Amino acid sequence: MIEKYVRLVDELRRKTKERAVSWETTDAEGQYALKLKKGAILLDYTKRMLGTEYTITIVNKEGTPVDRIEVGLENSYYAHVDDLYEIIDRQVNRIDEQVDEIISEIEEL
C-alpha cells in the first residue's frame, strides 16, 4: 500500500473514532462516503471467494474519481482498512447505541 494511503487510513480511523468526521451511506450497497470541502473519500467492500476486498476512492471537488486503491487479504494493511470500515458501519448504523438501548430495556425487566 502506498505510504500516503497508509497515512490516510490511519488519520481516517483516528478521526472516525473521535467522531470528528461524519460518514454517510451512498446508493451503492456497502459503500460509505466522507464528504470534504476539497472532495470526498469513498470506502466500499466487495465479497470475494477468499474474503472481503475494500476499495478506497478519492474524488475531487468536481465529483470526479482521481485515484483508487484496492485492499485485499494479501495486503499487510488489510486489518487497518477492515477496522476503519467496521468503525464507520457501527457509527452510521448506530449499532452500539441500539445494543445499549436493548441492554437497558432488558435490565429494566
Using one digit for the tens of pLDDT, what is the confidence trace for 16-41?
A: 999 999 999 999 999 999 999 999 99
Q: What's the angle, vertex CA 28, arms to CA 101 and CA 79, rounded to 5? A: 70
The pTM (predicted TM-score) of the whole model is 0.86
- Residue for cell digits 468536481? 62
69 contacts 2 by C-beta, under 8 angstroms? yes
Q: What is the CA radius of gyration of the chain?
A: 16
pLDDT at 34: 98
pLDDT at 50: 76
